[in-house]
Structure 1
């Protein structure tokens, strides 16, 4: 007996639709008939991301009309800024926010996320305008569980927001004592607070002692009531950016119950080792409950003498699921073999950027290209990994990939559930080097670009064939501009595909695609989007 799909109950249709992963497929389903549109439109519009460099305010205004019933399904809105959006295109950005604040359906949003760097003093009137726009948004969206406190906010403005008992995530932009005290008063009004994100703006502090003193004072002002009454705030997620943690670490440890934190992010902070020392358990009865740890060192931070802090912390507990360490040449922050092995059974995402892996080492606790397969063989849940190989040579060899890359590919194959890989390496090719020695810089023409495309695809195909579990990977993720002898190379994203020869034989081929298509084919590919050195916060392990 056949059953027409559209006559099924709405709940059953919604369950069927929930198994469709690709947004493009959801959109196609929504266009088939009214019954399927009614259930497909919900996941399509439930979470929306606006990329400011792509927004056309005229089209946005046309979409923000009462007749657009889909707007009522928007629950989570993320504004993704670009680096110079506030210095080059400020008026358009403010207009976008104004439209959203005034024309989104009232009380529809649940979360609103905006990583917006502070404006310069010369644009103080624009700061006030932005603050007024955000106040309008918060007063119209009373169901919001996220709230942002900007440098120009005061306690009177916070009180005008009304009841804050449903707020679970605060984002503080702190640049002065006044702002910090305003943030501190807001903490007293949010009994449901679980996630706290604090960005310190210390642009006026030119020296390390100044940054240290200013950071400590800001912490005192934000958590003054907790420090005065010996109370500790319980948080699920803590994100700090821009702090010098030398003196502030002890105050933070006194004001926050660090053992209860499940997601910790230290972004572009100085002296992170001091804070990690505070995270280590003081006795055997209390252990960290971390599930996500993100460490991003400042670019001007010098080498640290201590090389055991991170290892001691990671060896003191188990259960870590996401680990991101972006600290170039910071040996103190490089996890050791034993520390990573302590979490091998639970790790799902591993991002290490502390320099290239050595080929070998006399110390067995150093992760190297030679013992990587032993570590990954124990990572039974690991799905995504990013690291810098000892070298990445794009030699076009028909028989096999070069030996340096082959060793890493074989090691990755030891992880049974690994699906996505991203090397940080600068691209290197011996054929191009040989031609450079004869002819000088390469000509920027179609033939050269076609050669680079073929070279990268050949390397990705050879690499994937040695790691049967990989379904997605990226190339061209160097920390600096990626090029091959003067030819700039964009980031390349590949997914696993297959091709048939004339005799019916089947072989693997890496197919280049846009990032959006890669995400549809392989949803577990967030590591290809990670930019820890960017202006925003890196939120893993919790929902704002």
Structure 2
């Protein structure tokens, strides 16, 4: 991972240096003009002399789409090598959509057309644009080219006729996400074009009009299921009181029955439980989740995402390892609590710790429990996966009243030092309340109240403290190249506290001895330039979309 980043940066630096080495022509210095033209010609020849696969490797280090486009426009020698990467994923904008550029892109003479593998249509398209877009893609895309297709717009009646055509022409399609209308696309169910679909995304924001189990039975290859619910809108559509916990529970139970069907259908027992590899739930109350437990074998899951869900621990308590010896396949776990309601953790509640200690093998763990203390495991429970854990996104929020339940910095540091395989780390620290009086700081943060000098600005001291923590984490975790420590933006007096990003550096003393130090980056993009394969900085727990980390390893 590290050598690839270094090689890519060196190659990229040489390319940019060569491109911009052209001298500025002046009316009086013909020799400088001649030297500039010679340098440009030499650069062109040197790049064109590289093997094509090396040029493709160079372009693969462009982390953003706009960087790839700039490279295509500024360097003719790398134009053809940039085409596959530029066209691999096509995203259509949410506004000012024009069909003319789409028709031009779908021209058979466009050599980039054969490289399209992923298409994403965002959610704010309105009017006839989604209908026209879907028909053009269904009829003009090359056959069997798409691998994933995400269509986050509400379908109209004409659009349903284009979906079967799209699925029949794209037989390599493995992921089809049609949000807001998947339970209404009856024509797709009878088209026989869903045999290869492995991922289904269901977005429910109003009443469910068609039983989902008919759709699930038409997907024999289904391995990944996502259910995202806008529970306030659903409760309003079904005349339920969203502000009452029991009503939210009943509404969620009703959704589970609509999606999976009842246990007994027409007097006959329902089919066997779905054997999924990943399950993602968003926006549900899991108090009454018995139908989910009957419909899905949770012990076989490789990835489980419970995002903005209530009563998460009640569902986790029902997930038991199977087999002799007992084991579970779970490698990716995401737990994100909703912000609307705060849930305290009773002193005798050890259910989340018992769940983590009941199995081993987690590789990716994301926990954001600012409002729900019941989903934050102890450091000892996290350490049960120290031999396999590679990615850790951990929230450490607490207030003064619950300070005894927080993660102690020394204990957390000792826990992380045991995770020898850790490659990516992001720590969401508590909300820092800073004032000039040390007593006010100590009330909220015992660790941040020690020896705060009166002559030094508070934010400078905090920066030094966080940099020290980052240095210790990087020293103890040799596989980590970048790390972030921070939280949301907090402003108190003279202090503006933002997330800090650090990369690994080396400090050599006068005697030749070296030690690891944390070098602070200004933005996450600078950190990603150092470690372009890092994915943890793209995790936004409270964002509107689902967290899908891990699917590239599962599909």
User: In the TM superposition, what is the alpha-carbon distance from 1:325 to its structure 2 partner?
Assistant: 1.6
Give yes or no for the alignment of 1:217 onto 2:234. no
> 1:359·1:370 contact (CA, 8 Å) conserved in 2?
no
Give yes or no for the alignment of 1:294 onto 2:334. yes
Give yes or no for the alignment of 1:145 onto 2:174. yes
SS in 2 for 1:265: strand
SS in 1 for 2:410: coil
* Structure-2 change in CA distance of 1:253 and 1:15 (3 Å): farther
Give 1:172's match in structure 2, choosing from 202, 206, 218.
Answer: 202
1:468 aligns to what? 504
> 1:22·1:521 contact (CA, 8 Å) conserved in 2?
no
1:195 aligns to what? 224
* Count of residues in correspondence between the two structures: 458
Give 2:377's match in structure 1, choosing from 327, 335, 345.
Answer: 335
Give 1:184's match in structure 2, choosing from 197, 213, 233.
Answer: 213
2:478 aligns to what? 416
User: In the TM superposition, what is the alpha-carbon distance from 1:272 to its structure 2 partner?
Assistant: 1.5
> 2:71·2:79 contact (CA, 8 Å) conserved in 1?
no
**Cα displacement string for residues 335-355 of structure 1 (whole angstroms, at most 9, x for unaligned residues):** 211111112232222222351
Higher RCO (C-alpha 8 Å, min separation 6)? 1
> 1:198·1:239 contact (CA, 8 Å) conserved in 2?
yes
User: In the TM superposition, what is the alpha-carbon distance from 1:256 to its structure 2 partner?
Assistant: 1.2
Residues 317-328 of structure 1 aligned to structure 2 (within 5 Å): 317-328=359-370
Structure 2: distance between partners of 1:191 and 1:185: 12
2:543 aligns to what? 534
Structure 2: distance between partners of 1:360 and 1:176: 38
2:56 aligns to what? 17
Residues 73-92 of structure 1 aligned to structure 2 (within 5 Å): 73-81=115-123, 85=124
> 2:277·2:300 contact (CA, 8 Å) conserved in 1?
yes
- Return the index of the structure with the highest Cα Rg: 2
**Cα displacement string for residues 140-193 of structure 1 (whole angstroms, at most 9, x for unaligned residues):** 434321234544744741334323221111112346775451x31122222221
SS in 2 for 1:244: coil
Give yes or no for the alignment of 1:522 onto 2:531. yes
Structure 2: distance between partners of 1:145 and 1:113: 11
Residues 422-461 of structure 1 aligned to structure 2 (within 5 Å): 422-428=485-491, 432=494
User: In the TM superposition, what is the alpha-carbon distance from 1:389 to its structure 2 partner?
Assistant: 2.5
Give 1:311's match in structure 2, choosing from 319, 341, 353.
Answer: 353
* Structure-2 change in CA distance of 1:73 and 1:532 (3 Å): same
Structure 2: distance between partners of 1:71 and 1:396: 57
SS in 2 for 1:420: strand
User: In the TM superposition, what is the alpha-carbon distance from 1:281 to its structure 2 partner?
Assistant: 3.0
> 1:291·1:322 contact (CA, 8 Å) conserved in 2?
yes
1:498 aligns to what? none
User: In the TM superposition, what is the alpha-carbon distance from 1:51 to its structure 2 partner?
Assistant: 4.5
* Structure-2 change in CA distance of 1:367 and 1:62 (3 Å): same
User: In the TM superposition, what is the alpha-carbon distance from 1:312 to its structure 2 partner?
Assistant: 1.4
Structure 2: distance between partners of 1:328 and 1:399: 26
* Structure-2 change in CA distance of 1:115 and 1:518 (3 Å): farther
> 1:258·1:288 contact (CA, 8 Å) conserved in 2?
no
Structure 1: which 5+ residue stretches go unaligned?
Answer: 120-125, 434-451, 471-506
Give 1:384's match in structure 2, choosing from 412, 421, 424.
Answer: 424
> 1:360·1:368 contact (CA, 8 Å) conserved in 2?
no
Give yes or no for the alignment of 1:42 onto 2:84. yes
User: In the TM superposition, what is the alpha-carbon distance from 1:333 to its structure 2 partner?
Assistant: 0.7
Structure 1: distance between partners of 2:93 and 2:185: 31
Give yes or no for the alignment of 1:62 onto 2:104. yes
RMSD of the TM alignment (CA)?
Answer: 4.1
Structure 2: distance between partners of 1:134 and 1:523: 36
Give 2:145's match in structure 1, choosing from 108, 120, 139.
Answer: 108
SS in 2 for 1:386: strand
Structure 2: distance between partners of 1:513 and 1:404: 19
Structure 2: distance between partners of 1:168 and 1:152: 15
Structure 2: distance between partners of 1:511 and 1:219: 45
Structure 2: distance between partners of 1:212 and 1:359: 29
SS in 2 for 1:158: helix
Structure 2: distance between partners of 1:136 and 1:224: 28
**Cα displacement string for residues 359-391 of structure 1 (whole angstroms, at most 9, x for unaligned residues):** 99767xx52223222122122232332333343
2:278 aligns to what? 237
Structure 2: which 5+ residue stretches go unaligned?
Answer: 1-44, 436-455, 507-516
SS in 2 for 1:416: coil
SS in 1 for 2:370: coil
Structure 1: distance between partners of 2:412 and 2:324: 31
User: In the TM superposition, what is the alpha-carbon distance from 1:303 to its structure 2 partner?
Assistant: 0.7
**Cα displacement string for residues 193-217 of structure 1 (whole angstroms, at most 9, x for unaligned residues):** 1111122343223233333223223
